[in-house]
A and B are shown apart, each in its own frame.
Chain A
Amino acid sequence: MSRRRVVSIFVVAAVAMATGFLVAGQAKVQLLTPSNQVARYQALVRSVQELEASNADSRQKIAALRAQIDALEAAAAQRSASTQALQSKVADLRARAALTPLSGPGVEIDLADGVPGPDSTGGSGYQVNFKDVQDLVNLLFAEGAEGIAVNGHRITPLSYFSGSGGEVIVDQGPPINAPIKLQAVGNRTRMEAALDDPSVLPDIRAREVQFQLQVSFSGGPDYSLPAYDSSLETSHVSPL
């Protein structure tokens, strides 16, 4: 084998090795980094899913425990008139705290995302957000609602709304996204009139025009709202 041929074999080998390292390096940057990101995403999403499952499980347990306690209290009330009076008072208080189902006439409101468009509020103006839900709940209570549910989650005297972007969190519930349905039982006539009034809910009205945010409502003679199934935390407050 000539010397020239040996040199050329070495040159080809060196070029092949360099190409191999370059390709491997590129693959590492382009494939491994995203795959690490994906793994991190997957781990975080798995955590969210596990926590949501635990959340749903706890809420089911709470609902079951409240039903068992109701039954035990009812049994105790049958044995004593004073306990019966007390139980009746507690039942009344529980109804107003949204701890029992409620039915009656009312309205149903459907909220759905609009169409993305030029937006000065960071690009999420087309989405239904927690403030929309909060504003609607406040309006409905002001107009005679006696009970409200957001996607089947009852609003209590201590309820709060949070979330970011198009995510809405009510109390300790999991995040929900549009479409969102609000149901309110109460003075149907007043609630319908308020929802028809173009001067109320100015932010929502403006986004209906700008982003085609979808807001529709209808009234009905009989809606059924479920009982609140989460925590009504009052461990720091004491009656005087």
Chain B
Amino acid sequence: MSALFKRQASSRAISVWLIALLVALVATIQIRSQAEVERSFAGTDTTSLAFLIDNLHRANDSLQAETADLTQQEATLQSGGDTAASQVLTDEANRLRAAEGLVPVDGPGVVLVVNATGLGALDLQDALNNLGIGGAEAIAVNDRRFVVGVPIEQTQGGVTVGGALVPVPWTISVIGDANRLAQAADLMTQSLRADRRVREATYRVEADVVIRAVVSERPFVYGVAP
């Protein structure tokens, strides 16, 4: 009787130990995996992730639109003869000239006016970059065409765009998706108005913004394209 009681007691003790061990193991794994996941996202809050997702959605939409355009071009080239090829090439040349700022352009967009003392080249560079994020497809500052590659510099006389002085007030004409540009312009002008150096920061949406200024074509001197 006593031996049976002892056996039962020891098997109960083993069961208790096994359960305790299992609970400890599961708890450890759970806590460790949580800590691991949290460590991998250290410094990234949900707002940043949501912002990133929004950006990636927009980027992917844009990439898919480009893929559709290119697929169309490819189909036209495959199905047509020389006339089709000439048409595709002419359209592409026009599109690239517009993107590179080589021809006068028009389209929907916004016109911003910024009048301030003490704003420098970096402020203008930031403003134009913000408009690029907002979907700008063509930009001119005080009738000077700007594309990435045209330097914005600070000189003693003030800010220059492509070597030409652009004194304040800056009139920034932008062509692109008018809704997106209006949102970007709204945020920019709000932020600028909070700056004590800024006397005026306004924008208007226009159905047809005309940009006549062009960038002069620069051949490659050092670079070699295949």
Identify the B interface with A (CB < 8 A).
30, 34, 37-38, 41, 43, 46, 48-53, 55-60, 62-67, 70-71, 73-74, 77-78, 81-82, 85-86, 88-90, 92-101, 103-109, 122, 125-126, 129, 132-133, 135-138, 147-153, 175-178, 210, 212, 217-218, 220-226
Contact = CB atoms under 8 A, between A and B. Distances in A.
By secondary structure, the B interface counts as helix
Contacts of B97: 93, 239
A59 B67 CA distance: 9
A86 B86 contact: yes
A159 B85 contact: no
Contacts of B57: 51
A186 B222 contact: yes
A30 to B, nearest CB: 10
A68 B70 CA distance: 10
B98 A58 contact: no
B94 A73 contact: no
A238 to B, nearest CB: 6
Nearest to B101: A157
Contact of B224 (A104, A157, A239, A240): A104
Contact of B175 (A73, A137, A156, A237): A237
A72 B223 contact: no
Contacts of B226: 100-101
A232 interface: yes
Contacts of B135: 233, 236
Given A86-B93, A87-B89, A188-B222, A237 B137 contact: yes
Given A146-B222, A236-B108, A238-B98, 5 more contacts: A51-B53, A58-B64, A172-B58, A234-B137, A237-B99
